Amino acid sequence: MDSNNVFVPRPNQLSEGSEVSATEGTSSLNNQNIDYKKKYEEKKERERLSGIKNFEIFGLYTVLYAVFATFCLFKNARGVSFPFFTAGTLFYFVICIKKFGVELKKKNTFLIVSIMLLGFSMFLTEDHQMTGLAKWTMFVLLLIFTLHNCYDDSKWQLFSYLHAIGIYFGKIFEHLGTPFTDAGHYIREMKKKNSEPDENGVVKKNKLSYIVLGILISIPLLIVILNLLCEADAVFKEACKDILELIDIENVLGVTIMFVAVYMIFYAVMRVIAEKELEVKSKDRRIYEPILAITVTSIITVVYVLFCGIQVMYLFTKQLKLPEEYTYAEYAKEGFYQLLAVCILNLIIVLICTNLFRKHRALDIILTIISICTYIMIVSSAFRMYMYVNSYDLSRLRLYVIIGLAVLSVLMVGVVISIYRDSFPLFKYGLVVLTISIIITVYSHPSFIVAFYNVEHYKSKRTVEDSIDVQYLTELPLDAAPVILDVDNFKMLQEKDRWTSLKYYYEDFDPNDPYNEESYITKRMSFRSFNLSKFLAIKSYEKLVTYKPYDGKGNGYNF
């Protein structure tokens, strides 16, 4: 290359161009920073104003609701106060929703009645599994209640509801910090307004801080005064027993944590409703090629048809011979849990195919065959369970399987209808079926059913060699106690089984227990914690046992 043809800028040209370029770049960067800062400040201001508005609308209601909920539920998961908590929760939701300018829709009766029935069931049972199931069901029904009233869900299908509920939970977690930030914005705004002079130039003093200070001063005084008055009057002490029990460091800390948790969660729920941040479109999701679904389901269907044929011959007609080492009860034991899992899997497969793949006649026929095979599997699993229970008695898990099979069979009816009718409201159908099933299960007291069946089964087959697993029955929730402690049932038990059951309840209910003098007192119930199941268990024990002074040798009972 010729060096004479190479362009080399002069020093003054280089410096001038660089200076212009640097100046323009710096100016552009400064403008971007200014725009970014301005947008950030505008965003923060919008959040501040939104927080002030939201706290003004439902902040105080949420604080009062948190106080009410803490009073009802603290160390009282299954007390008579729970129905009042349920009614208060519904009232809180309705008030807040109306504050947002949303009119309640007409079709709320089923949701409201179901929530109230589940709440009322809490003090009727001592079964923590049933109360846990009821609480989760209530929470989901409350979410659906808000979705139904705040959004147009008339065209939502199954996956639309599941999508909405999933987003709802995510948004709740996202807004868990807003109860405190909104409250802070609101308090600062109130201080600012109170510090501004009025028309006459007079500055009004902020009274909120005085109120808070007064409350903080009154708390230690109240504790001292209550203790003194309780020592002065036994009747007043008994009336204030629940309050005094709460006044210790552990309980104060527990009450505080529970109050904050309730306030955070329900304020976040209301914040999501207020912002209307859910974007759920009722679009047709059946966009995938049906040949894929036909290929997969047709292979599965062949296996299902073969399996169902074996079920008919082995279990229902007994035409085929079992292996020599098997009895029918042992053969049944090996399958019912696995069959239940396959039935649930079939339900999921049919739902996926009907909601994600385009309509195809062959696919509809295959899904119908899978549904029919599912019913055969449900019957097979139920028959296996019947044979096993008849040989080895009933347990809670076995009873849950039976209930699950019954519910699944009803759900499959709606699934089959939805295969041929696109407009069938499958989600609402499933919601009604599951809710009613849960309500019936909770009110039926499964522990009582298990104890009643096992005792009656023992009576019918009783021989010298037969026995009943009293240890298992006494470890059931107290719902089962009236069956075990029934006078006729108790006398029917063998001597060793009598003392096994009596020892268990003696430690819980007997005021003469020398090893735990507080056992009976701690089981007594207050106006908050009264539980009908516990009450009936205590009464059954007292009816069975005639008290005599404890003689230190294990005696003291007369039947």
Reduce the secondary structure of 495-531 to three states and give it as a string.
Answer: HHHHHHHHHHHHHHHCCCCCCCCCHHHHHCCCCCCCC
Contact assessment for residue 59 and residue 181, using Cβ atoms and an 8 Å cutoff: no
- C-alpha 110/C-alpha 269 separation (Å) is 22
Instruction: Determine the pLDDT at residue 27.
Output: 61
CA dihedral 343, 347, 353, 356 (to 10 degrees): -140
pLDDT at 44: 73
Q: DSSP assignment, residue 75?
A: T
CA distance 530 to 79: 5
Residue 89's pLDDT is 92
Write down the pLDDT at residue 448: 92
Q: DSSP secondary structure string, 168-219? A: HHHHHHHTTTHHHHHHHHHHHHHHHHHHSB-TTSPBPP--HHHHHHHHHHHH
User: In terms of C-beta density within 10 A (0-12 exposed, 13-18 middle, 19 or more buried), how is residue 101 classed?
Assistant: exposed
- In this structure, are residues 51 and 185 in contact, taking their beta carbons and an 8 Å threshold? yes
Q: What is the pLDDT of residue 556?
A: 46
pTM: 0.76
Give 521: exposed, middle or buried? Use CB within 10 Å, 0-12, 13-18, 19+: exposed
- Residue 490 is predicted with a pLDDT of 76
Please tell me the distance from the alpha carbon of residue 15 to that of residue 33, in angstroms, as a whole number: 27
pLDDT reported for residue 36: 66
Report yes or no: 92 and 146 within 8 Å, Cβ to Cβ. Answer: no
How high is the pLDDT of residue 334?
63
The residue written with tokens 């019936």 in the block is 440
Sign of CA dihedral 16, 17, 18, 23: positive
In angstroms and rounded to an integer, the radius of gyration of the C-alpha atoms of the chain is 34
Tens place of pLDDT for every residue, the chain, 559 residues?
A: 444 444 444 444 444 455 555 555 556 656 666 666 666 676 777 777 777 888 888 888 888 898 899 888 888 888 888 999 999 999 998 888 888 877 888 788 899 999 999 999 998 998 888 999 999 999 889 888 888 888 877 777 777 777 788 888 888 888 888 888 888 877 777 777 666 665 665 555 555 556 656 666 776 777 677 777 777 777 667 666 655 565 666 777 788 888 888 888 888 888 888 777 666 665 656 677 788 888 888 888 888 888 888 777 765 665 555 566 666 556 656 666 777 788 888 888 888 888 777 888 888 888 888 888 888 888 888 877 887 887 778 888 889 888 988 998 898 888 888 888 877 888 888 899 999 999 999 999 999 999 898 888 887 765 545 667 777 888 888 888 888 888 777 777 776 667 667 767 766 666 555 554 444 444 566 777 788 888 888 888 777 776 444 444 544 444 4
Residue 351 sits at φ, ψ, to 5 deg, of: -65, -40
Question: Across 436-484, where does the E strand assignment appear?
Answer: none
Q: Strand, helix or coil at 283?
A: coil
H/E element, 547 = strand 546-547
Could you tell me which residues come within 8 angstroms of residue 459 by beta carbon, excluding any fewer than 6 positions away? 492
